[in-house]
Every structure is written in C-alpha cells, then in structure tokens.
C-alpha cells in the first residue's frame, strides 16, 4: 500500500523531484550541517534502531521522516559500515502494510543465521473511525546485504491493563536459546513500565511474561518508559531506558525527558539495581540503543539520538532535524557505565597538534575538531565560536561542577524553556575531551566517567577559543 495521508506519507508517495527539492533546502544550510556525524539527508531523524553486527559489518537504522523536520510517517533509514567512518546506504524499512500504516516505530535487531537478521519493531497504526492508536509489534527479516526479505505482525494490540502506548521492542536470546524482548509501556493508571515477552522461536507466538520491576527507581510522575534495552556486561545486567515525566533536578535530569541506566542483577522479573544514573547530562540526548551480535562480553557499542521529543531546532527551517551521536563504547568501570567514542573514531583522528594557549587563539576548523586537555582539577572558563552578534558558547568548571552555557547562542523558544545551562557534578576533573561538529558537541570527562551531548547554534561563527587560564591543548580532526 502506498500510504499518503497528510504527514503519514511514505517514501513511495514522493513526487518526482520532491526529495531533491527538499535536499536543496537542506544544502542551503551553510552553518549547521555536521561533517562526521550521521544526519538525515532530508527531514527528521530520531531514535537509533536495529543496531546489529552481522559478523562482518555493522547495520545501523534510525527513525526517519524524509519530508520535513517534523514527526510524520516514520521509516527506518538504513546504513551499513565496517569501520564507523564510511557508511553505505542500504534498504529503508518503509511502511507498506496495514500493520504499520502510521509508521514503523522503534525497535531492535536479533541475529538469526549466517545470512540473515531479524528486526523487531512497533507498527504504529490508527483506526480510521476515531483515530485511536493501536500498537502492533512486528518482525522483519533482512539479509546481510541489507535487503528486506519479509515482514509480519507478531502482536496486534496492547495487552490487557496497558494503554495504547506499548512500543519499542528490543530482543535478545536467553541462555537456552529462547527469544525474549522488552517493550516500553504505559499502565492503565498512566504510569510508565517495561514489559517482558518470550517466544520459543521466531515462528512461535509471543507470550507476555509480565512487567520487570525496578524497585530502586523512583517512578513518581513518570508516565511512560520508551526504548528499553536489556543486556549483560561482564557478570552484571544493564538496563537502559528513557523514562518520561521524571521531575527535573538542578544538577542532573535537567531536560524535558531523560535517558537513564541501571546496573545490577535481573532475578526473575525483578531488576535489583546497584546503581541508577542519567546516561548523558547534555542538552540533547535520548533513546540510546546498544548493538546486538557483538562477541566481546565486557563491552558494547551504543548510539544515541542527539535530540529530544517535543523539541524544535533552528535547523528545522532547513528541513532537517537532529543526528546520531558517534558510536560509543560502553564498559563497566567502578560499578558505573563508562562511555567514549569507539576505537575506530580515535584511530581515524589526523593532524594531531599540541598548542599552549594563554587567552585567545584562532584554530583552523575548530568547529570540526577534537579537543583534549587536562583540567588538573582546577577551575577554568572557555568560550568558543564568537560571532559579530556577540554570540558564543561557554564551557566551565568551578572545581565541583562542569557546565555548558548556551544562553548566548541561537535557540528556539522550546529549547530555552528548559534553561540555557547544563551542569554535571564531577570531582577531580582531569581529562576533558570535546568532539565538535558544527552544531553538535559530545563531551567526555575523565575518560568517559561522564558524557554531555548537546546541539548548539552559532551562525557566522569564528573559530576562536578563549580561555581564562593557560592550557595545553591537543587538537586533531
């Protein structure tokens, strides 16, 4: 079926030249398009989906609405890479069936045999009589070349006791070869939770095992859990999810919604958490997912969406919205998750130089650079990218708290609604790493103990960097 109903329009309904015209608007953005982050060719990107290593290559999908910077009909845009540097485009998952009539929503992948992998995803559908949403959970099979072989529905409605908000299946195998998947859900009393389903094999019908309880998490005010991900790291279980409604705090959980993680042990249906924290404390980070199919049991790779639901950005007028983070290697360190870009990203850095800076310097292509310095656990203030309009980006450390200040940058009203600064408590700040890419920065503190991912918008910026104390800076590209 070629769906074409307002914003619920599939790629198959594109008029000739329509995407090329949108692309020319995207290309007219001279200021903000990233150079080395995955951004949508046109339209809106959100959650990373279906991440899987197929034994030779990595498959990466993301939620994509091709026609505008709005949440319309969601497709799964698809790339294949061997090295996280060169990406080849592969077959997009396009809504064509009634069981996905209003979008192929988020989900995860599962290895199945030498030549194929499965993706589990939510088919968003709406009844024509009253527009009521009915969430299907679907299965699609791809071959390693990235071609879609087949798709079918697995579950055709929300289970009893839950609202229409049941979505984002993330599958995995049990030690005895059964398939399980977690789904984000909203209970009938409008609180958020996660459901666990089981299938004996890919042909079998899924059965609901129940909710996974997370008693150590304060779920008050939380109305929905999105994008759950459950996996093992070493001898621990890790649960990552995106709760909605958690009250904002002054030094963490500062955005409208949050991505969080718990480390502990899953015993039956109870996750006994030893540690729970926000995954990233920047302005724009949500709905992360880790790869299936990796063999190293001590670490994994994760992508996140550099954006948030319900936010708009200055690039919307250029008809593109958001990007993915760099691939991040995730490990356990002192009972917490440590995260920094994958090895290939570091190996691909070139033109390393060391510069001693005293106050103001101009660094060529600063807006596409990797910066690193040792803060020596002493306060500092940095300002980057001054322009003639007096705009600039601020980064600082006062000995206890690292902050990002975006108050002197271009913002939409909704961006500034949640404040123009972000904070991150961190003692003994030594290692500071910053990956800049024109309108995004990913900051990693103390070798990945903390991460802060943010978008920022400074048109006509100069590549200037100001510091209030001398620093030995490493710069690379």
Q: Interface residues with ligand FRU (CB under 6 A)?
A: 46-47, 63, 74, 105-106, 122, 167-168, 226-227, 287, 309
Q: Which of these is catalytic: 31, 47, 168, 235?
A: 47
Q: Check: CB of residue 103 under 8 Å from CB of residue 124.
A: yes
For 210, phi and psi rounded to 5 degrees?
140, -170
Q: Give the whole-angstrom CA distance, residue 301 versus residue 204.
A: 30
**Residue (74 or 438) nearer to ligand FRU, CB:** 74
Cβ 65 to ligand FRU shortest distance, Å: 8
Strand partners, 78: 61, 90
**Residue (158 or 369) nearer to ligand FRU, CB:** 158
Cβ 278 to ligand FRU shortest distance, Å: 16
Cβ 104 to ligand FRU shortest distance, Å: 9
**Residue (154 or 357) nearer to ligand FRU, CB:** 154
**Residue (287 or 330) nearer to ligand FRU, CB:** 287
Q: How many CB atoms neighbour CB 356 within 10 A?
A: 9
Cβ 157 to ligand FRU shortest distance, Å: 16
- Three-state secondary structure call for residue 21: helix
**Residue (6 or 175) nearer to ligand FRU, CB:** 6
**Does residue 312 carry a catalytic annotation?**
no
Tokens encoding 281: 């404390």
Q: Give the whole-angstrom CA distance, residue 409 versus residue 394.
A: 10
Q: Give the whole-angstrom CA distance, residue 437 versus residue 447.
A: 20
Q: Give the whole-angstrom CA distance, residue 220 versus residue 214.
A: 13
Cβ 191 to ligand FRU shortest distance, Å: 16
Strands, E assignment, 286-407: 286-290, 299-306, 320-321, 323-324, 328-333, 336-341, 353-357, 360-362, 370-374, 380-384, 393-397, 401-405
Q: Give the whole-angstrom CA distance, residue 180 versus residue 110.
A: 10
Q: Catalytic residue positions?
A: 47
């Amino acid at each position: 079926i070629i769906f074409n109903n307002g914003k619920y329009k599939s790629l198959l309904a594109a008029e000739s030249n329509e995407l090329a015209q949108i692309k020319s608007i995207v290309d007219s953005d001279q200021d903000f398009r990233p150079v080395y982050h995955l951004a949508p060719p046109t339209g809106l990107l959100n959650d990373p989906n279906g991440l899987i290593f197929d034994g030779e290559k990595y498959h990466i999908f993301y939620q994509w609405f091709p026609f505008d910077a709005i949440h319309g009909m969601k497709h799964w845009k698809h790339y294949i890479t061997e090295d996280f540097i060169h990406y080849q485009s592969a077959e997009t998952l396009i809504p064509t069936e009634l069981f996905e009539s209003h979008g192929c929503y988020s989900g995860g992948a599962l290895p199945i045999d030498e030549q194929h992998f499965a993706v589990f995803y939510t088919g968003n559908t709406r009844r024509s009589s009253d527009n009521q949403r009915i969430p299907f959970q679907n299965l699609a099979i791809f071959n390693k070349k990235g071609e879609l072989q087949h798709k079918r529905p697995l579950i055709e409605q929300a289970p009893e006791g839950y609202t229409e908000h049941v979505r984002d299946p993330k599958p995995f195998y049990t030690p005895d070869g059964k398939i399980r998947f977690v789904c984000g859900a909203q209970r009938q009393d409008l609180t958020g939770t996660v459901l666990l389903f089981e299938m004996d094999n890919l042909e079998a019908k899924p059965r609901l095992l129940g909710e996974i309880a997370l008693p150590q998490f304060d779920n008050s005010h939380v109305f929905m859990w999105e994008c759950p991900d459950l996996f093992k790291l070493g001898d621990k279980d890790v649960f990552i999810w995106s709760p909605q409604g958690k009250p904002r705090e002054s030094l963490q959980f500062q955005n409208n919604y949050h991505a969080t993680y718990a480390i502990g042990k899953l015993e039956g249906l109870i996750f006994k958490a030893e540690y729970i924290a926000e995954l990233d404390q920047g302005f724009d980070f949500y709905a992360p997912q880790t790869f299936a199919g990796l063999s190293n049991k001590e670490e994994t790779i994760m992508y996140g969406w550099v954006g948030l639901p319900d936010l708009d950005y200055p690039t919307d007028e250029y008809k593109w919205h958001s990007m993915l983070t760099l691939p991040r290697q995730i490990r356990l360190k002192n009972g917490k998750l440590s995260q920094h870009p994958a090895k290939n990203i570091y190996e691909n850095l070139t033109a390393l130089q060391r510069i001693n800076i005293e106050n103001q310097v101009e660094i060529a292509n600063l807006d596409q650079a990797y910066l690193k310095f040792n803060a020596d656990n002493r306060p500092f203030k940095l300002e980057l990218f001054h322009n003639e309009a007096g705009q600039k980006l601020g980064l600082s450390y006062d000995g206890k708290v690292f902050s990002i200040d975006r108050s002197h940058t271009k913002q939409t009203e909704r961006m500034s609604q949640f404040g123009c600064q972000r904070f991150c408590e961190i003692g003994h700040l030594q290692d500071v790493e910053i990956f800049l890419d024109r309108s995004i920065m990913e900051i990693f503190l103390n070798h990945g103990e903390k991460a802060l991912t943010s978008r920022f918008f400074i048109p006509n910026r100069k590549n200037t960097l100001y510091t209030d104390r001398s620093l030995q800076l490493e710069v690379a590209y």
